[in-house]
Amino acid sequence: MLSEQLLIASCSLLGMMILATAMLKGWQGWLALKERELNLRTMPMEIEGGVREGAARIELADLKERIRKLEAIANGVDL
């Protein structure tokens, strides 16, 4: 009777230790993933030609202005 209870207790303890180890491994993997995501987010993203995001917005606005002028010329409107 006592040995049966001891066997059940030791198997339960072993099972909980295995479960805790697996959960800890998963938690560490999740933290590593989130750390990589944060590192990618904080690194300045480069756009075509090595231009940073702010400069790319200015370049995009300039291109839109050029397109507007070309469309005006194509329609015969004098700027």
According to the model, what pLDDT value does residue 66 have? 92
According to the model, what pLDDT value does residue 40 have? 84
**Mean pLDDT per 10-residue segment, the chain (79 residues):** 91 97 96 92 62 75 91 79
Query: Which residues are CB-contacts of 14 (< 8 A; sequence separation ≥ 6)?
Result: none
Main-chain phi, psi angles of 52, to 5 degrees: -75, 170
According to the model, what pLDDT value does residue 43 have? 62
According to the model, what pLDDT value does residue 64 have? 92
What is the pTM for the complete model shown?
A: 0.47
**Whole-Å CA distances, 5 to 9, 10, 16, 29, 56:** 6, 9, 16, 36, 71
Alpha helices in the chain (DSSP H): 2-42, 53-74
According to the model, what pLDDT value does residue 79 have? 58
